[in-house]
Amino acid sequence: MSTLSSPSERVWWKTPVERVELLWVGIALVWGIIMTIMMPYWHVVGKQNLSNEAYRTTPEAFAKKTQAMVDQYTVRTETERQFPVVAPPAGSDVYLIARLWDWWPILELENGKSYRLHLTSMDWQHGFSLQPENINVQVVPGYEMVITITPNKAGAYTVVCNEYCGIGHHKMIGKIYVK
Amino acid sequence: MATTAEFRTCPDTGLVFHKPAETLMKLNAVAGIVFLLVGGVLGLMLGLTRWPAVHLLPADWFYLLLTAHGLGVLVFWIIFFEIAVLYFTSSTLLKCRLATPRWAWLGFILMLIGSITTNVAIFQGGSSVMMTSYVPMSAEPHFYLGLILFAVGALIGCFVFLGTLVIARAERTYGEGSLPLVTFGALTACIIAIFTIASGAIVLIPTLLWKIGYISYMDPLVYRVIWWAFGHSSQQINVAAHIAVWYAIAGVVFGAKPLSEKVSRMAFLLYILFLQLASAHHILVDPGISSEWKIFNTSYAMYLAVMASMIHGLTVPGAIEAAQRHKGFNKGLFEWLRKAPWGNPSFSGMFLSLIIFGFLGGISGVVMGTEQINLIIHNTLYVPGHFHATVVGGTTLAFMALTYWLIPVLFRREVMFPGLAKWQPYLFGIGMSGFSLFMMGAGTLGIPRRHWDISFSGALFSHDFPATAQLLLGVMGISTILAVIGGAAFIIVAVGSVFFGKRKDPAVKFSMPLIAPSVTVDHARIGFAGVAVPGTLVLALVFLTAFVLYYFVNWKYLSSVWGLS
């Protein structure tokens, strides 16, 4: 009887299992356990994990904190729209607003130093995609995500939006400088 | 009781068709193929837009067509065809009348009205929200309404299938034994479908009410968790359904029997038990969700759903190898595979589907579903690369393979353009493999998904992606064309045969029987070194090696990026 008809043995669950199948099930089980362990293992030894620190927020509250940082640490402005470039001290809280269709402001960070990066959206969902590192995080309105970031290479980085956010989605790019 | 007048026995295969069920199978399959046609045309235009040298569409049309493409193929094509598969595996394989054909008709009509309504909403222009329609972005009310109607129709189809199983059991239409393996697989798909559709209703009904003003706030994160219980689980329906189709084609072409019923059925059960909260894979880099939750829900402690797919990946070719060796192709490791009917599109389509689903779709899916590795993949072009390998290279190709067999058996027509049909799975399979692979490559280099212009025209700042990524997008565009030619060949053969083909004369036998007599294999008498299916074992070990290497390469890549904690 083929796969299209009832099993020829009424009590098919008592028929012996083919040895190759047993071997393969064993291999798959061991591999699955290894893959499961890798994730908590990386939380212990790896350097790339999300902290899972997050808060409920509102656009007003987050904009206020961001504005305070911009007022205190702006070092210069760029482009005809006078985008502030902000250089907060190492170890401090830095804020990045995602909105239609900007990443605001520009951050200037020191290589090898850590910062607590706060992210939220003022409107729709956005995607924080740091290029060329290719670090990608979902930015959800109403939620303030905190990630401690430690840049490990100097350079000019681009933040691309990689969650569709309407017709100007492709114009939504920002900058992070690492000195 | 149904009368015998309502049944037709296929003179070529001996399969028994309940006429009302047969009509519904045909209608659902045809409706599905129409959406595949539309989706393929849209896919071509989208692929040509993402090819930087061509950049075909303007931004508004790109996002509009991307929304229509996603829903049209990922939901409408596949679910219409799956309803046909459900009716075939219940009514036909169990020789049973279809339960309540009138309800099945209602289900079909609702699906049709729903899918058209949603498409109207999309093409009116106010609902370019992507398939996922993440709140607080919103579509027009009838966008959601159409999806809800479609879901209700599909749910009715699921219950008609379950009802048919109950009748078949009560009337002993298929004897005293258990369900055939293929029907068992379809039952798995049906159970997952019910969970999926319920999740879709739970998220889309409030979204509709929110849109028309009865609910004041939709939490975007809760939306994502529940939407993906619909969005990802609907792809698990596909997995269960196309694996049932693999087993069916192994049975049809080779008369194959599973190596053991127990292992294959256990693997199907693992899908039901361990796939359900697959939404976790989509929120691995979302705020406000703990790592414990992510790790547990992405793996269920030991990746038993991955194990299930790995088992099917062994037992389907294993069953074919055993049947082939039994027939005398018992030399060496791969004589069984070399002497397989590679000119029969049902077989070649099925086997390519298995390879593409496993090597490209399966491995990439598990790798990017790893909590931390998702950081370097989330929302890049890698993601559509992955799911085109699973849903197009895997599911769609398997359904195409089955269609070649259904044309004479269900539609009673001869396959038109047999030469074209013979090459079609290769064109489509190779095109889609290239497309998926190059997309994944571009995604690894940071190219975002759902993005109209990676040269950022009109933006305040600029950014140059690596030249390799640009090159990969170019070859991705070329692969799109190849895959679309393959898809068009399928539509020409299928639509041509069904509507204009020569009626199948039972007296004219094909060179290959439409259904192979089933073989009972004595596993002790085939293979060598105490292994009944050594060729399949070697293929499985090659797969495992690729899997392990690629998995750790990604960890290595992750370890080089900025520190995150």
Average pLDDT over residues B350-379: 97
How high is the pLDDT of residue A1? 56
Q: In which region does residue B505 sit, left (phi positive, over 0), alpha (psi from -120 to 50) or beta (all else)?
A: beta
Cα–Cα distance measured from residue B158 to residue B104, given in angstroms and rounded to the nearest whole number: 9
Q: What is B327-396 written as a DSSP string?
A: TT--STTTHHHHTS-TT-HHHHHHHHHHHIIIIIIIHHHHHHTSTTGGGGTTTBTHHHHHHIIIIIIIII
DSSP code of A45? H
DSSP code of B286? -
A150 interfacial to chain B (CB closer than 8 Å):
yes
Whether B319 sits inside 8 A of A3 (CB atoms) is yes
Quote the minimal CA–CA distance from A179 to chain B in Å: 14
Chain A residues close to B516, C-beta within 8 Å: 2
B115: amino acid identity, one letter: S
Stretch 62-81 of chain A: residues touching chain B, C-beta under 8 Å: 79, 81
A143 interfacial to chain B (CB closer than 8 Å):
yes
C-alpha angle B348/B30/B434, rounded to 5°? 40
For residue A126, the cross-strand partners are A139
Token pair 């290279």: residue: B393
B51 or B529: which leads in pLDDT: B51
Average pLDDT over residues B315-321: 97
B8: amino acid identity, one letter: R
Q: Does any domain span residue B564?
A: no
Quote the minimal CA–CA distance from A143 to chain B in Å: 7
B47 CB contacts (<8 Å, ≥6 apart)? B435, B476, B477, B480, B481, B484
Chain B residues close to A7, C-beta within 8 Å: 177-178, 180-181, 261
Return phi, psi of residue B163, to 5°: -60, -40
A1 interfacial to chain B (CB closer than 8 Å):
yes
Q: Are B244 and B185 in contact (CB under 8 A)?
A: yes
pTM: 0.96
Average pLDDT over residues A75-102: 96
Whether B220 sits inside 8 A of A125 (CB atoms) is yes
Chain A residues close to B358, C-beta within 8 Å: none
pLDDT in tens, B492-512: 999 999 999 999 887 777 666
Instruction: State the complex-level ipTM.
Output: 0.96
Q: Does any domain span residue B245?
A: yes
Token reading at B2: 């149904």
Q: Does any domain span residue B497?
A: yes
How high is the pLDDT of residue A8? 83
* Residue A43: pLDDT over 60: yes
- Closest to B399 (Cα-Cα) out of B234, B245, B189: B245
Q: What's the Cα-to-Cα distance from A39 to each of A36, A150, B554, rounded to whole Å?
A: 6, 20, 13
Peptide bond into B293 cis (omega under 30): no
* Residue B2: pLDDT over 70: no
DSSP code of A170? G
Q: Poorest-confidence range of A6-10, B148-152, B314-318, B448-452?
A: A6-10
Cα–Cα distance measured from residue B428 to residue B396, given in angstroms and rounded to the nearest whole number: 10
How high is the pLDDT of residue A162? 95
How high is the pLDDT of residue B504? 85
Token reading at B208: 């509709």
Q: In which region does residue B502 sit, left (phi positive, over 0), alpha (psi from -120 to 50) or beta (all else)?
A: beta
Whether B564 sits inside 8 A of A27 (CB atoms) is no
For residue B375, the cross-strand partners are none
Cα–Cα distance measured from residue B555 to residue B543, given in angstroms and rounded to the nearest whole number: 19
Helices and strands (H, E) in chain A, number of each type = 2, 12
B430 or A12: which leads in pLDDT: B430
State the residue range of the domain holding B528.
4-456+464-507+514-559
* Residue B554: pLDDT over 90: yes
Q: Poorest-confidence range of A39-48, A81-90, B485-494, B498-507?
A: B498-507
Quote the minimal CA–CA distance from A10 to chain B in Å: 5
- Closest to A56 (Cα-Cα) out of B285, B287, B210: B287
Average pLDDT over residues B75-84: 95
DSSP code of B112? H
Q: Does any domain span residue B324?
A: yes
Q: Would you mind telling me the total number of residues written for chain B in this entry?
A: 565
Quote the minimal CA–CA distance from A115 to chain B in Å: 10
Q: Does any domain span residue B565?
A: no
Out of A2, A32, A169, closest to residue B451 by CB: A169
- Number of C-alpha atoms within 13 angstroms, CB side, residue B301? 1
A82 interfacial to chain B (CB closer than 8 Å):
no
Out of B286, B374, B452, closest to residue A169 by CB: B452
How high is the pLDDT of residue A152? 96
Quote the minimal CA–CA distance from B252 to chain A in Å: 8
Whether A6 sits inside 8 A of B380 (CB atoms) is no
- What is the number of domains present in chain B? 1
In this prediction, residue B171 has a pLDDT band, given cuts at 50, 70 and 90, of very high
pLDDT in tens, B393-428: 999 999 999 999 999 999 999 999 999 999 999 999
Out of A119, A141, A167, closest to residue B220 by CB: A141
CATH number at residue B368: 1.20.210.10
Quote the minimal CA–CA distance from A48 to chain B in Å: 4
Q: Does any domain span residue B325?
A: yes
Cα–Cα distance measured from residue B475 to residue B473, given in angstroms and rounded to the nearest whole number: 6
- Give the residue from B375, B383, B470, B538 with the most A CB atoms within 10 Å of its CB, the best one to mutate: B375
Characterize B301-330 residue by residue with b for buried, 16 or more Cβ atoms within 10 angstroms of its Cβ, and e for exposed. ebbbbbbbbbbbbbbbbbbbbbbbbbbebe
Token reading at A4: 């299209």
Chain A residues close to B219, C-beta within 8 Å: 142
A145 interfacial to chain B (CB closer than 8 Å):
yes
Out of A24, A147, A172, closest to residue B564 by CB: A147
For residue A96, the cross-strand partners are A119
How high is the pLDDT of residue B249? 97
Token pair 């459900």: residue: B86
B92 CB contacts (<8 Å, ≥6 apart)? B15, B16, B17, B18, B21, B22, B25
Cα–Cα distance measured from residue A164 to residue B485, given in angstroms and rounded to the nearest whole number: 29
B194: amino acid identity, one letter: I
How high is the pLDDT of residue B74? 92
Q: Does any domain span residue B195?
A: yes
Q: Does any domain span residue B22?
A: yes
